Homo-oligomer: A and B are copies of this chain.
Amino acid sequence: MPSMARMQVEADARSVPGTRQQRGRERRAAVLEAARRLFSSQGFKGASLAAIAHEAGITDAGLLYHFPTKNDLLLAVIAEGDREQDEALEKVRDVQGLPLLQRMAEFGADLEADPILTALDVTLSAENLSGGSEINAYFVGRYDRFRAMLAQAFEEARRAGDLAGDFDPAVEAANMTAVLDGLRLQWLLSDGAVSMAGGMRAYVTGVIARLSPKP
């Protein structure tokens, strides 16, 4: 009799496939993905726990078992996105100087491949412009590191004789970062009329053409 009862409720949402801990991890991942989607399209304050939980197929109380507070959920979403972007950056890290700058031309195309993560970055950074919060510190640090990486590449390119002129590596690094961010925003706001890949490639080749040593 108990075994029959088990079989009757086998189709229940909780007992789908696999072991207990497997289902737990899968639910957790589903919540993270739903949270990324809703945070990116509605912002942190705009997305409710109930809506995220519904998208993940559970209730809000069920969600709070995996992430004890809404802020914890946000931090997990950010940590996951950060990890993915670090992986994308590692493909670039083995080169330096001018080759690194040249590879930045493909960064626009990379971002176009993941519109949700791109929109998440725009939304969350704009939602945390003013200081104090943990998230604001994260974005400030990330921009600092990104600019430092590019500035170092500009310096090395000049030292190697690949670039010339009296340009300021810090300014060039900030400007290249700005093009990436600005195109991101226009791409999201223009229904595809603005291409990040095309704009970024044009910018990088333009910078290199302008700063190339004259023979």
B181 contacts A180, CB within 8 Å?
Answer: no
Please give the distance in Å from A105's CB to the nearest CB on chain B.
Answer: 13
Q: Which residues of B contact A191 (CB under 8 A)?
A: 131, 140
Chain B proximity mask over A128-162: 1 for CB below 8 Å, otherwise 0: 01110000100110011001000000000000000
Cross-chain contact A199 with B182 (CB below 8 angstroms): no
Whether A123 is near chain B, meaning CB under 8 Å from some CB there, is yes
A174, B186: Cβ atoms under 8 Å? Answer: yes
Which residues on the B side are within 8 Å of A130 (C-beta)? 41, 119
The reply to whether B179 and A185 form a contact with Cβ atoms under 8 Å apart is no
Return chain B residues, CB-CB under 8 Å to A131. Answer: 191
A147 surroundings in chain B (CB, below 8 A):
186, 194
Interfacial residues, chain A to chain B (CB-CB below 8 A): 41, 43, 45-46, 119, 122-123, 125-127, 129-131, 136, 139-140, 143-144, 147, 167-168, 171-172, 174-175, 177-183, 185-186, 188-191, 193-194, 198-199, 202-203, 206-207, 209-210
